[in-house]
C-alpha cells in the first residue's frame, strides 16, 4: 500500500523540485532523470517514488521503458493552495478601501 504523502512536503525538497522541472519540460525515464544528478541512483529512485506517491508524477509504460510524466492536475493544486489566503487578504483590503473612501467624505 502506498502512503499518501504530503504534496507540500514533497516539493519542499530541492532535488525533487529539480526533478519536477526536468520532467515538466519533457517526459523521461528514471535513468535519464538520474543522469542529471550527482546523487546516487537509488536516492533519485526514492525521490521519484515520493513524487509518484503524492501524484505529482505519473508513470507510463512505453515498450520496455517506464516514462515519468508531470501530473498537471496536481501541480495546479499546488499553485491554487494559496488562493483562499489571497482571497482573505483581498477581502480585507477591499473593505479597507471602502472604509477609507468613506473617511475622506466625512472629513
Is residue 36 near other proteins by the rule CB under 8 A?
Answer: no
Q: What's the first-to-final CA gap in the chain, in angstroms?
A: 67
Helix (H, G, I), strand (E, B), or coil: what is residue 12?
Answer: coil
Nearer to other proteins, 7 or 30 (CB): 7
Nearer to other proteins, 25 or 79 (CB): 79
Q: In this chain, which stretch among 24-32, 44-52, 64-72, 80-88 interacts with other proteins, using CB under 8 A?
A: 80-88
Nearer to other proteins, 76 or 86 (CB): 86
Neighbours of 19 (CB within 10 A): 25
Q: In this chain, which stretch among 28-36, 39-47, 56-64, 91-99 interacts with other proteins, using CB under 8 A?
A: 91-99
Nearer to other proteins, 64 or 106 (CB): 106
* CB contact burial 46-84 (16+ within 10 A = b; e otherwise): ebbebbbebbbbbeeeeeeeebbebbeebbeeeeeeeee
Chain centroid, CA 31 distance in Å: 22
Is residue 72 near other proteins by the rule CB under 8 A?
Answer: no
Binding residues vs other proteins (CB under 8 A) = 8, 11-14, 17, 78, 81-82, 84-104
Amino acid at each position: 500500500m502506498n502512503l499518501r504523502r504530503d504534496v507540500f512536503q514533497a516539493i519542499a525538497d530541492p532535488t525533487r523540485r529539480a526533478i519536477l522541472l526536468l520532467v515538466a519540460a519533457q517526459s523521461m525515464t528514471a535513468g535519464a532523470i538520474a543522469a542529471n544528478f550527482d546523487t546516487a541512483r537509488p536516492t533519485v529512485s526514492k525521490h521519484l517514488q515520493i513524487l509518484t506517491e503524492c501524484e505529482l508524477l505519473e508513470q507510463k509504460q512505453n515498450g520496455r521503458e517506464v516514462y515519468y510524466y508531470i501530473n498537471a492536475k496536481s501541480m495546479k493544486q499546488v499553485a491554487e493552495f494559496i488562493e483562499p489566503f489571497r482571497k482573505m487578504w483581498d477581502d480585507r483590503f477591499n473593505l479597507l478601501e471602502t472604509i477609507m473612501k468613506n473617511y475622506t467624505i466625512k472629513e
